[in-house]
Structure 1
Amino acid sequence: MNATPEYKDVWATVLYVICSLAYIYAIYRGFPAFLSNNSFAPSNFYSNNSGPATLIAAIYPILVFIASSTLLGLLWFLLMQSYPRQMIKLSYWSWCGLAIVAGVLFLIGGSIAPGVIFIVFGLLYAWAYVAIRSKIPFASVMLELAASITRQFPAMIFSGFVGMIISIIYQIVWFITLYGLIILILQNYPPINQPDGTQVMNPHATGYMIASFVTLLFMLFWTHEIIKNTIHVTCAGLYATVYFTGTQEGDSLRFIVPVTNPTAKAARRALTTSFGSICFGSLLIAILDLLRYLARSSKSGAARDGNFMLMLICCCLECLLTCIRDILEYFNLYAFTQVAMYGKDYCDAGKSTMALIKDRGLQAVINDNLIHNVITIGGVIVGLIGAALGFLIIYLDGNDFAYNSSTIATYCVLGFVVNINCFYVMMSVIISGVATTFVCIAEDPGTMQRLKPELFERMAESWPGINWGIHQPVSM
């Protein structure tokens, strides 16, 4: 890790600051227009049918969902740490079973093609177990290690929740700003009266609304990626600090780290010297997200107009952009790990990531797949429990209005979404930890052999390839 890190990719930071200043100006214009609209006046919010009591009634279910997902997430951490191999095997076969069950249900419902696809997928996934089962011991040690370090340094989870809160607030502000700008545009460019008495949208208003929406949508995508990747770089920096400086306490998975507040220092690096690289990599994802959204919107418009050729072209373009986006997102996971470990700029980190993928990419993909299975099945379980809690809240409310189907569905969906999002925020530190530890081992296994000999022996038993390059200089 660099002793005196330098600011990298400063141009990307400057570009994001400029865009953010323009966004702040949009907030300055949009918020007053939104608040002045009669539908959102404060007096309407505190009317007889609203007020503090109703506000509390609306908030407390969300607090229940957050509390339940946090407790379930901690329980999942304990299970992953105590029974990593069993959790990996259980989650793997659970996905096989779910795919086959879904296929059978589709066939019973008369949907032949989806049913056959799901059943074939489930059977192929089960058959693939023969090829990947030798990788399970290594993935088990990695999962146990990541869960143990996360328990020892819970500030990483806190940083994830802070990022989630900032993201939620940003989305709320984004919606208010967009709504306010639309109001302003319609006030400045009212509809045009036609000779027959009808009104049509002012073309200037249409153009300005589209431009405002696309611009704000791009900022939403970019900022969301920056928040997510900043959390990853923070967690990766902490895991790298533990790897390169931490010594193992006996045969336990607790480590003595000669660095005070390592999570805070990792966050400071992510928000300063490495922030430009984060903005650079996040910018690429944001551009692909915007192009994919435009392709999807064009496809929907072509479908409404009956233009099937254009719809087909947009559908293919959307599929291509989605594939490129998913590949780049997986690539960024390891590129930002390089940024956190060595303070590299994004391009240098990308070159190192390409070399890593070329050398040990298959091992990384299999390892990530096995561990992602555990996290994903946990997210589904926690989400379903959240939906059940939503139904329970409605059931215990006791008011007649609460028993209509739309209210029940709203609370169930809200419980599922809030629970699964909170759970994935907690589990994102595991994903960061596994990726970072894998990169550290792949590039410098000698450090683990020197500082953590007991852990190194466990790793070597499950992955003989860990010994490659111990006596070779580390590529920095």
Structure 2
Amino acid sequence: MQSGLPRSLSGSGPSHHAASSSHEIEEDFASVDSTAQDGESSAGEGSCTPPPLGRTPEPTRKWRDVFWLILFVLHAGLFGFLLVILGINRYRRNNRFPKLARLSTADGQQTQEFWPILGAAAAIGAVLGLGMLYIMCVRPNQLIKVAVHSVTAYLAVISVFCFWDEQFFWGIAFAIGAVLQFLYVVSVTDRLPFSVLVIKMAVKMLLSLPATIKVCYGFLSGMIAWMVLWSFGVSGVIAVGMDDHARWWILLALAVSLFWTGAVFANTVHVIVSGVIYLLLSYSAQCQAPLPSRPVLRSLRHAVTTSIGSICYGSLFTAAIRVFRWSIRGLRSRIGNNECLLCCVDFLFNIVEILVRFFNKYAFVQVAVYGKGFNHSARDAWELFQSTGVEALIAYDLTGAVLLMVTVLGGLITGTCVGIWTWYKNEDRVIMVGSTAMLMGMVQVYLCMVVIEGAVTSIYACYADDPASLSKWNTEFADQIAEALHQRFQHRSGRDVPAHMVGAQLPKPLPEIT
């Protein structure tokens, strides 16, 4: 390695997790255990050795993070029972359960008045999710532009209506959201073309394996079924005659439960898709060898059995840490020369970076490919990115933020549709029902968008493992990735980095969004 550059940029040498001496492509989607994965074996460039996912016989995977699986199952059972009780309590009569009657009054409403409205929210969210996924596959530029530029205006308009309705807390909350969204978009506009490029390439990979897109259909159906039960219980809470503060606290607890459940569904799809896309790129580097049979089915089997505990664990923390990290990065880029404020933000940033080391979405690729525990996967993925320099590219990439904006847009549309319906039926419950519907819509839309996110995470993981795998799949895209990485090193070092040291001739500049 020359001049201390990360090894993934040198354009030569073995892959970090290259396969060993077998020269036969077997038809199996197999994994290696986490000790074998650590990478002692190597193969020279141009070897037709199949990647670890294609070996047979398939090693038996160990169940990982079982405690978190048990906790999730107990949570689902407990909240499912609670939702049934809360819904039945006000269904077609007031206060069926005497103990709950002490917490409410007889002048409340009934569950069936709100259940159809929230059921419609689940249906609208599912339709929006599938529609937005389709648009992302055929016209990603248009949807991304709409999401990036309309969310700010949408939040501002909702804020005005909240103030008009004298809902000052929600008016301030949406106004703050609009301001933060505007400042964030202004600070990252120049990074959008690269993110659009990565999303387009991820979609191209998904379209080459249509079964990966269809994976979300089954999980979306399961999520709708859970939301039918969840909305039944929430309708009972909204209908009950009790103090608004107590009702909001109950809704908050139920919202956290829905968030975790939705994240588990979404990240299961993430693991399935990322495992298959990683396999596609790995086999592209192995002399255009054909993929093993039924890769999606076998990835699904691992995701819902031995890896489900890791998915439950990662789903509880990863999303919140990612949003916090984006916020800190955006604030850090806008501070300027205020040394006192910069010191405070840097302190928070360092804390977040420590958390990211153990909770990051790229861990799901390692979980899919190697079947390791979540913390082990997150640590290995982050160390790989830092040792290869790909972390600089990940920090520059905005695909996660862009998909989140699409998700928020879907939630806002769902909340608006349901809020208008509620306005005509029960004006004093508009904010409560509308905000609940917004959360339901966001969960449904994200469950569809995570298909693209799974492909994106696999691109970066495979590129860090072996840049040649991306080059053999699409040379032009690999060159553009190399160019972006070259530019990030120039930016970080404040000096020119010779183009030949990133392993590719730099192509023309990245295209603008059109």
Give TM-score, length-normalised by structure 1.
0.57
Partners in 1 of 2:185 and 2:76 — Cα distance?
49
- Picking from 62, 67, 80, the partner of 2:127 is 67
Partners in 2 of 1:96 and 1:450 — Cα distance?
40
- Picking from 164, 181, 186, the partner of 1:126 is 186
Q: Does 1:142 align with 2:164?
A: no
Q: Are the aligned partners of 1:247 and 1:451 in contact in 2 as well (CA < 8 Å)?
A: yes
- Picking from 343, 361, 370, the partner of 1:342 is 370
Q: Does 1:7 align with 2:69?
A: no
Displacement of 1:155: 1.6
Which residues in structure 2 correspond to 1:233-312 (within 5 Å)? 233-245=271-283, 258-279=291-312, 281=314
Q: Are the aligned partners of 2:482 and 2:503 in contact in 1 as well (CA < 8 Å)?
A: no
Q: Does 1:416 align with 2:416?
A: no
Q: Are the aligned partners of 2:415 and 2:437 in contact in 1 as well (CA < 8 Å)?
A: yes
- Picking from 157, 168, 172, the partner of 2:216 is 157
Q: Which amino acid aligns with 2:278?
A: A
Partners in 2 of 1:227 and 1:448 — Cα distance?
29
- In structure 2, the residue matched to 1:193 is none
- In structure 1, the residue matched to 2:492 is none
Q: Are the aligned partners of 1:244 and 1:447 in contact in 2 as well (CA < 8 Å)?
A: yes
SS state at 1:332 partner: coil
Check 1:467–1:335 CA distance in 2 against 1; reply closer, same or farther (3 A cut): farther
- Compute the RMSD of aligned alpha carbons: 5.8
5+ residue gaps, structure 2: 1-51, 97-108, 162-167, 238-252, 322-346, 488-498, 505-514
SS state at 2:359 partner: helix
Instruction: Tell me the percent identity.
Output: 20
Give TM-score, length-normalised by structure 2.
0.54
Check 1:5–1:173 CA distance in 2 against 1; reply closer, same or farther (3 A cut): farther
Q: Which amino acid aligns with 1:426?
A: C
Check 1:408–1:442 CA distance in 2 against 1; reply closer, same or farther (3 A cut): same
Displacement of 1:79: 2.3
CA offsets 1:258-277 (integer angstroms, 9 cap, x no match): 34433222111112343344
Partners in 1 of 2:68 and 2:177 — Cα distance?
43
- Picking from 452, 458, 464, the partner of 1:442 is 464
Displacement of 1:446: 1.1
Partners in 2 of 1:33 and 1:118 — Cα distance?
38
Q: Which amino acid aligns with 1:447?
A: S
Check 1:461–1:262 CA distance in 2 against 1; reply closer, same or farther (3 A cut): same
Displacement of 1:236: 1.2
Q: Which amino acid aligns with 2:138?
A: L
Query: Whose helix proportion is higher, 1 or 2?
Result: 1
SS state at 1:272 partner: coil
Partners in 2 of 1:24 and 1:419 — Cα distance?
20
Displacement of 1:59: 4.2
Q: Are the aligned partners of 1:147 and 1:430 in contact in 2 as well (CA < 8 Å)?
A: yes
Displacement of 1:437: 1.0
Q: Which amino acid aligns with 1:351?
A: R
Displacement of 1:144: 0.3
Q: Are the aligned partners of 1:138 and 1:463 in contact in 2 as well (CA < 8 Å)?
A: no
- Picking from 429, 436, 444, the partner of 2:451 is 429
Check 1:244–1:329 CA distance in 2 against 1; reply closer, same or farther (3 A cut): same
CA offsets 1:322-374 (integer angstroms, 9 cap, x no match): x759944983311222221333343542332231342322310221x3x2343
Partners in 1 of 2:114 and 2:156 — Cα distance?
45
Which residues in structure 2 correspond to 1:375-390 (within 5 Å)? 375-390=403-418
5+ residue gaps, structure 1: 179-214, 249-254, 289-318, 396-401, 472-476
Check 1:221–1:451 CA distance in 2 against 1; reply closer, same or farther (3 A cut): closer
Displacement of 1:218: 10
Which residues in structure 2 correspond to 1:32-71 (within 5 Å)? 39=90, 59=119, 62-71=122-131
- In structure 2, the residue matched to 1:366 is 396
Partners in 2 of 1:340 and 1:454 — Cα distance?
27
Partners in 2 of 1:380 and 1:31 — Cα distance?
26
Partners in 1 of 2:59 and 2:156 — Cα distance?
51
Q: Count how many residue pairs are aligned between Structure 1 and Structure 2.
A: 374
Check 1:389–1:147 CA distance in 2 against 1; reply closer, same or farther (3 A cut): same
CA offsets 1:379-414 (integer angstroms, 9 cap, x no match): 34333433443366569xxxxxx3552365566445
Q: Are the aligned partners of 1:61 and 1:393 in contact in 2 as well (CA < 8 Å)?
A: no
CA offsets 1:211-241 (integer angstroms, 9 cap, x no match): xxxx999998876654443232112112212
Displacement of 1:467: 8.8
CA offsets 1:136-172 (integer angstroms, 9 cap, x no match): 5542321102223344332232254145346537857
Q: Are the aligned partners of 2:264 and 2:311 in contact in 1 as well (CA < 8 Å)?
A: yes
Partners in 2 of 1:390 and 1:7 — Cα distance?
45
Which residues in structure 2 correspond to 1:206-221 (within 5 Å)? none
Q: Which amino acid aligns with 2:378?
A: G
